[in-house]
Structure 1
Amino acid sequence: LWGVPTQMLLGVLIGTPIFLWLGISLSGSLILALSIAMSSSVVIVNITRSPKRATNSMTEEALLGWSLVQDLVGVALAALILTVFGTSETSLVMAIGGLFSFAAIAVIASKILPKVLRAVRWERDLFLIYSISFGLVLAAVGTVLFDIPMALAGFIAGLTINQSRDTDEVRKAILPFRDLFAVLFFVVVGTLIQPSQLSDAWPFALLILVMMVLLKSLPTILIAKLGKMNATPFHLGVGVSQIGEFSFVLGSVAYSQNAITLTQYTGLLLAVVISITGSTILVRRQKVQKQ
C-alpha cells in the first residue's frame, strides 16, 4: 500500500515545479502534476479483462489494488488542491469545512446504501433506480451545498457506491452502459481536441508523456522490484502508465477555472488518447504463463 502514495507524491512533488517553470499557475501546476500521477481505473479493469492480456493473476490483482488506492488518494489530493487553490469566493476555513462535511456524508451514505439495496434486492428496476439516484443525489449535494466541482463530486459519489459488495449486482446490470460510456469518453475527448491547437499542443503532450514515464511508470516498476511484489514489474509499470477519466476531469476543471490555457488543455487530451492506446498495446508484450 505504501507504494501507491509514494508514486503519487513523487509525481506531484517533482511535476509541479516543472509546470511552474513553464509559467503555469500554482493551482494549474498542481492539478496537471496530479493528473499525470493518476491512472485510468477503467483502462486497468479492461486490461485485466482483455482476452489478449499477457498479465498473470498476481499482476492483475496488483493493478486493481493499485488503481483503487490511486483513486482514494487522488480524490483526497484533488479535493484539497481545489479547495485551497480554487476560484471559489468561499473562505478557506469554510471550504475545508465543507470538504470534510461532504466526506463525512459520503462515508455515511456508503453505510446506508447497502441496507437500502438489500431491501429492494428482488425488485430489479427499483434496485437499479435507487443505486443510480443515490449517486446523482450525493453528487448534487457536494456541488450545490459544498461548492465542490460537479465532476469531482460525481467521481466521489461513484467511489462511494462502489465500496459496497451489495452493488456488485448494480455493476453487472450497468456493465453494458459502462462500456458504452467508455466509448463515449473517447468520442468526447476527440470532439474537445481542436485541430487549430494541434501544432501548438504537441510539444506539451509529449512533455506529459515523458513525465508520465519518468514519474509514474519507472517508479512503479522500481517499487514493485524493491517491494518484492509477486506482480510482474514491467506489466505493472506499463499497466498504470496512462491517464484517463480522472485526469480528464481534473484538466477540465483547471481549464474552466483558467488555471491552464486551451493549448495546454488540448495537450493533456492528446496525452490521454496516446497513453491509453500505448498502454493497452504494450501490456500485451512479454507474455508469461498465467498463475
Structure 2
Amino acid sequence: MEIPLLRDLVIIFSLSVVVIYGCRQVKLPILVGLLVTGMLVGPRSFGLIHEVHLVEVMAEIGIILLLFSIGIEFSLKKLWQIRTLVLVGGTLQVGLTMLGTFAVTHYLLGWAATQAWFLGMLLSLSSTAIVLKLYQERGEMETMQGRLALGVLIFQDIAAVLMILVTPMLGGEVLETSSLDVFRLVLIGLGVPLFIWLGSQYVLPWMLHRVVSTRSPELFLLSIVSICFAVAWGFSQIGISLALGAFLAGLVISESEYSHEAFEHVLPFREIFTSIFFVSAGMLLDIGYLWEHLGLVLSVLLAVLVFKLFILLVVAILLGMPLRTAWIAGFGLCQVGEFAFVLNTTGSRYQLLSPDNEQLFLTVIVLTMMLTSFLIAGAPQLTQSLLHLPWPRRLRAGLYKGLRLQIRSSRYDLQDHLVIVGYGINGRNVARAAKRAQVPYVVLETNPDTVRSEQALGEPLVYGDATQKAVLNRVGIRQARTVVVVIAEATATRRIVSAIRELNPSVYLIARTRYVREVEELRRLGANEVVPEEFETALEIFDRVLTQYLVPRPEIDHLVEEMRSGNYGLLRQEVLPETTEVAQEPNLHPEIQVTTLLLNAACSWNGHSLQDIHLRAEHGVSLVALRRQGKMLLDLSSETILQADDELFLIGPPEKMRQVAQLLRIEVI
C-alpha cells in the first residue's frame, strides 16, 4: 500500500540532506538550505510534493514544538522582566509599522484605505520561528536584542488575533459583536494569567511529580507532549495562535524542577518538525514569478527591509537602548513572518489585495525570511560600519536618562577597582566574589530593568553600552586595575576589549568567550586572559575524572596547565602528542574509590565514635578525614565522635562504598 505522505517526506528529507550539505560546504546557514529545498520541491517549481496540506500541518507542529521549547528555557520571572518590551515595545513596533505603511500606500501610491491598513498589518508581523531559533542557536536570547525580539514577537502574536478579527471589517463585512466574542476577549484577558499561575504553581508540579515517580521515560515523554499540544490547541480555540499557546505551555513547565528533562525529551522532535516548517515556507516561493518580475521584487524587498529596520530602530531608541543595540535589534526583526501567510489567507476571501500585489508580497515575504539568517549573522559588522557615521553622543549611549547614573564617589572608590562588563550569570558570580573579598567593583549593563532593580538593592550597576568609550570613562576605566568582560556576543566582546585596551594600556583584562576560536583574536586585541567556555568545561570534567582515578593532584594540575598553555593549542590538536601523559605508570586503581558522604541526623553513626561503629571491620571501608563546620579534621582516632552534618571522606572498594551508602541511607556528595 502506497502512502503519499511518506513518499513526500522521503523526498523532503533526502533532498534536504543534499542541499544542506552543499550549503555547509560554502558556509551558508542550514536555514537557507531548508528554504531552498522547499523552493525546489514546491508546487510552484518542480512540483515534487503532492500532499502539500499535510506537509503544512506537520510544519505547524514544528512551530508548536519550537515555541514550546523556547518557553521551557524561559521563565515567568524573565517574562515579567521584559513586560515593558512586550507592552511598550510591541505596541510601538506594530503601531508605527501600520501607520507608516498606511501613509505611504494610501497618500503616496493612492491605495484604498482598507488595502493600506491590511498591508500595514501584514508588514507589522515578524517571523517568531526563524528569529527565536537563530537567537537561541547563537546564544543571544539573554542579550538586549534577544529580549527585545522576544518581547515584540509575543506582542505580535497577541495582536495577530485581533488582526484576524478586524480583517472582515476591512473587507466590508459588518462586525456584529456577539456575547460570545465579548466572552472570548474576557477569557483571554483574565484566563491566560490565571492559567499560567495555577498551572505553574499547583497543577503541573503535582502532575509531573506523579508521572516521574513511575520512573517511566515513555510516560514522561507522552505527558510532556500531551501538555504541549493540549495547551496549544486549547488556546487556539479562544483565538490565540498555536505558537503563542505552545510558548505559554512551555512557560508553565519552566517553573517545574523537571523543565530540563522535558526540554531534552522534546528537542529531537523539535528539530525534525521545524525543518519541515522551513521547507514549507520555501514552497510558497514562485520561482517563475520571481524571474519574470525580478526588478520589481528586489525593489519592494529592499523597501520593506529598510522601512521595517527604520521602525525598529526608532522603537529601540525610544526604549532607551544604545544605538548599537538598536541597529542589531532592527536587523534581527526586519523580515516579515509566517503569520502574515495566515492573515493573508483571511484577507484573500475579501480580495483586500489584488492577485498581482498578493503574489508580489508573498514572494517578498519568503525572501525576507531567507535573508534573516544573513542579516542576524552580519548585524554586528553592519552596525559597526553604520556607527562610523557622526551620530549624536546621547543617541549612541541611549536615551534612558533615569538609568544613566553616575557612581557616587562617597560610596565607591574609583581607584584600583574592578570593572565588570555584563551582569548575566558569570557577571553576577564575579560580583559576588568581589563583594565577599571586599574588592571595589562597578558593573556595566545594557538591560535597563536589571540596572534599576539591582540599583534598588544597592548594587553598583551603571547603564551603558561598553563599546562606547564615553561609557567606559564614566566607570573610571583609566583608573581600574582589572576588567572582566563576560557578555555573550562575540563581536561586541572584541570591540569592548579593543576600546578598553586603547583607554588603559596597563589594565589587566580578562575576557570570556563561548568558543576557543575567539581566543587568539581577543588576545591580539589586548586581552591578558581569555576563558573559552567549551574548553574550560572540558578541563573541569577532565580534572574530576582524574581525581576519581586517584591521579596525584600535582600531576593533574600540571596536565591541566599544560592544556591551557598556548591558547589551548593542545586541546585543539586532533591527536595528542605521545609526550602528553600523566605518568609512565599512572596511578589508576579501579578497585579503589574515594567518596564523600554526608552524615545526616537520622543516621545510626550519629553520636558514636569510630571505635563503636567498626567501620573497617564490618563495612570494609576506611575514614581518612572529615570536614565539620567548614574545618577539615585529619588527625582522627578511634575516639573521634561523629556528628550530624559531618562530611566523611571514605576510601574503599566501590561495591563496599555503595553498600555503606545504601545501608545507612547517607547522601553521597
TM range (shorter): 0.7 to 0.9
Aligned AA for 1:72?
A: I
Q: Is the 8 A contact 1:17 1:29 kept in 2?
A: yes
Structure with greater contact order relative to length (CA < 8 Å, sep ≥ 6): 1
Name the counterpart of 1:267: 364
Q: What is the CA-CA distance between 1:171 and the residue it aligns to? A: 1.8
Q: Is the 8 A contact 1:11 1:34 kept in 2?
A: no
Q: 2:337 aligns with which of 248, 272, 286?
A: 248
**Is 233-242 or 114-123 further displaced after alignment?**
233-242
Aligned AA for 2:124?
A: A
SS of corresponding position for 1:163: helix
Q: How has the CA–CA distance of structure 1 residues 138 and 184 changed in structure 2, closer, same or farther, with 3 Å as cutoff?
A: same
**Is 35-44 or 197-206 further displaced after alignment?**
35-44
Name the counterpart of 2:458: none
Q: Do structure 1's residue 95 and structure 2's residue 181 form an aligned pair?
A: yes
Aligned AA for 2:373?
A: I
Question: Where do 4+ consecutive residues of structure 1 move more than 6 Å?
Answer: 36-39, 87-90
Name the counterpart of 1:80: 162
Q: How has the CA–CA distance of structure 1 residues 170 and 237 changed in structure 2, closer, same or farther, with 3 Å as cutoff?
A: farther
Q: How has the CA–CA distance of structure 1 residues 218 and 177 changed in structure 2, closer, same or farther, with 3 Å as cutoff?
A: farther
Q: Is the 8 A contact 1:216 1:240 kept in 2?
A: yes
Gaps of 5+ in 2: 1-81, 106-110, 381-489, 498-510, 513-669
**Is 79-88 or 186-195 further displaced after alignment?**
79-88
Aligned AA for 1:242?
A: G
Q: What is the CA-CA distance between 1:251 and the residue it aligns to? A: 0.8
Q: How has the CA–CA distance of structure 1 residues 239 and 185 changed in structure 2, closer, same or farther, with 3 Å as cutoff?
A: farther
Q: Is the 8 A contact 1:128 1:170 kept in 2?
A: yes
Q: Do structure 1's residue 207 and structure 2's residue 303 form an aligned pair?
A: yes
Name the counterpart of 2:248: 160
Q: 1:131 aligns with which of 224, 232, 237?
A: 224
Name the counterpart of 2:121: 30
| CA distance in structure 2 between the aligned counterparts of 1:90 and 1:141, rounded to whole angstroms | 25
Q: Do structure 1's residue 177 and structure 2's residue 269 form an aligned pair?
A: yes
Query: What is the CA deviation profile of residues 156-177 of structure 1, one whole-angstrom value per residue up to 9, with x for unaligned ones?
Result: 2211112132233222222233
Q: Is the 8 A contact 1:27 1:85 kept in 2?
A: yes
SS of corresponding position for 2:126: helix
Q: 2:377 aligns with which of 280, 284, 288?
A: 280
| CA distance in structure 1 between the aligned counterparts of 2:321 and 2:89, rounded to whole angstroms | 13
| CA distance in structure 1 between the aligned counterparts of 2:269 and 2:324, rounded to whole angstroms | 32
| CA distance in structure 2 between the aligned counterparts of 1:210 and 1:37, rounded to whole angstroms | 19
Name the counterpart of 1:52: none
Q: 1:234 aligns with which of 324, 343, 361?
A: 324
Q: Is the 8 A contact 1:8 1:37 kept in 2?
A: no
Aligned AA for 2:177?
A: L
Q: Is the 8 A contact 1:44 1:67 kept in 2?
A: no
Name the counterpart of 1:62: 144
Q: Is the 8 A contact 2:331 2:376 kept in 1?
A: yes
Q: Is the 8 A contact 1:213 1:241 kept in 2?
A: yes
SS of corresponding position for 1:35: coil
Q: What is the CA-CA distance between 1:193 and the residue it aligns to? A: 1.0
Aligned AA for 1:253?
A: V
**Is 94-103 or 163-172 further displaced after alignment?**
94-103
Q: How has the CA–CA distance of structure 1 residues 36 and 171 changed in structure 2, closer, same or farther, with 3 Å as cutoff?
A: closer
Q: Do structure 1's residue 120 and structure 2's residue 216 form an aligned pair?
A: no
| CA distance in structure 2 between the aligned counterparts of 1:213 and 1:31, rounded to whole angstroms | 15
Q: What is the CA-CA distance between 1:210 and the residue it aligns to? A: 0.5
Scaled by the length of structure 1, what TM-score is found? 0.75
- Measured on the aligned residues, the alpha-carbon RMSD in Å equals 3.5
Aligned AA for 1:30?
A: M
SS of corresponding position for 1:177: helix
Aligned AA for 1:69?
A: G
Q: 2:137 aligns with which of 41, 46, 49?
A: 46
| CA distance in structure 2 between the aligned counterparts of 1:106 and 1:128, rounded to whole angstroms | 25
| CA distance in structure 2 between the aligned counterparts of 1:172 and 1:239, rounded to whole angstroms | 29
Query: What is the CA deviation profile of residues 207-238 of structure 1, one whole-angstrom value per residue up to 9, with x for unaligned ones?
Result: 22112221114542x357x457xxxx535642
Q: Is the 8 A contact 2:86 2:152 kept in 1?
A: yes
Scaled by the length of structure 2, what TM-score is found? 0.36
Q: What is the CA-CA distance between 1:272 and the residue it aligns to? A: 1.5
| CA distance in structure 1 between the aligned counterparts of 2:313 and 2:328, rounded to whole angstroms | 6
Q: Is the 8 A contact 2:225 2:266 kept in 1?
A: no
Q: What is the CA-CA distance between 1:264 and the residue it aligns to? A: 1.0
> Which is helix-richer, 1 or 2?
1
Aligned length: 270
Q: How has the CA–CA distance of structure 1 residues 201 and 132 changed in structure 2, closer, same or farther, with 3 Å as cutoff?
A: farther
Query: What is the CA deviation profile of residues 32-67 of structure 1, one whole-angstrom value per residue up to 9, with x for unaligned ones?
Result: 224389982222212216xxxxxxxxx844344334
Q: Is the 8 A contact 2:149 2:332 kept in 1?
A: no
Name the counterpart of 1:189: 281
Alignment of 1:1-12 (within 5 A): 1=82, 2-3=84-85, 5-12=87-94
Q: What is the CA-CA distance between 1:274 and the residue it aligns to? A: 0.9
Name the counterpart of 2:57: none
